[in-house]
Amino acid sequence: MMSSAENRLPPCIDLHIHTQYSDGDGTIPQIAEYAHKRGFSAIGFTDHTTVEGEFLNTRYDKHNFATYLLEIEKTRLKFPELTILCGIEISESFGSIPDEAESIYRACDLILVDGHSVKNPFIGAQKIRDWCEMFRIFTKNIGVAHPRYKDLTSKEWNIITRSQIFLELNNPKLNNGEIAAVRRFIAQPNAQSTLWSVGSDAHSLALVGDISIAWGIVQQYQLYKKLIVPVSHV
Ligand SMILES: [Zn+2]
């Protein structure tokens, strides 16, 4: 029997983490080591890129997606018991995908479309769906980073759910109003097939795995198997 205190501990999965490849503080090996030491089961690196796959606000001069992928692959070998997803968060220039960038998308396990940034304010589920469909041929894990749940209509929620686009429970964005909006939607029958992701949106090492609010929702509504990286819950 687990104690209630243990029950409250999230199995640590964090599928939204930034590194120095974009505007985060940590490096890929540092973050993986941190997660490994704390017994996380899965992490996802999701640095900001343009639709062309170029990193935004990167700290590195000569690094690009190829070095990012290589570093992630090396880190996977070092921590085999930790699932490490290679992802990106597309945060700018939502045009069509140039042919040269297709290999980048193919290498991604996870693609987040920024539905909430200043430059790309949430512009409706139809548009989000169209963007996501464009990336769909490359990965099955495609979804909206920090959707504005308060602004999502039922119709929009349905478009996203039907397209099997996941919605992220982004820990720092889940204020009381957002939590209430998520709860309203989850209570509806058509929300049963919604896919979910959880993430800290960490830009510093100390925030990696900080998903307590998001995890509260996962627990309350038993979303374990509806996460893009399903977790078995004890
Ligand atoms: Zn982010």
Choice among 10-24, 106-120, 140-154, 174-188 with the minimum mean pLDDT: 106-120
Instruction: Give kind and range of the element (H or E) at residue 28.
Output: helix 28-37
Taking the CA atoms of residue 210, residue 216, residue 219 and residue 224 in that order, the dihedral angle to the nearest 10 degrees is -40
Residue 231 falls inside a structural domain: no
Report whether pLDDT(174) > 90.
Answer: yes
Give the pLDDT mean for 219-234: 87
Cα–Cα distance for residue pair 105/121, rounded to 1 Å: 23
- Ligand 1 centroid–CA 46 distance in Å is 7
**pLDDT-wise least confident of 10-24, 120-134, 138-152, 204-218:** 120-134
pTM of this prediction? 0.90
Tokens matching residue 61: 């001069």
Chain CA centroid to CA 169, Å: 8
Q: Is residue 129 part of a domain?
A: yes
CATH of residue 176? 3.20.20.140
CA of 145 to the centre of ligand 1 (A): 7
In a domain, 132, yes or no: yes
Spatial CB neighbours of 61, under 8 Å, sequence gap ≥ 6 = none
Residue 233 is assigned to a structural domain of this protein: no
Domain count, the chain: 1
Statement: residue 34 has pLDDT above 90: yes
Is 232 among the domain residues? no
Percentage above 90 pLDDT, the chain: 58
In a domain, 179, yes or no: yes
Q: Quote the domain boundaries for residue 124.
A: 4-226
Gap from CA of 4 to ligand 1 centroid (Å): 32
Q: Which residues does residue 167 pair with via DSSP β-bridges, in sequence order? A: 144, 196
Distance (angstroms) between ligand 1 centre and the Cα of 90 equals: 9
What separation in Å is there between the alpha carbon of 47 and the centre of ligand 1? 7
136 against 40, higher pLDDT = 40
**Mind listing the pLDDT tens digit for each residue in 61-118?**
888 999 999 999 999 999 999 999 999 998 876 677 888 888 998 999 999 988 665 4
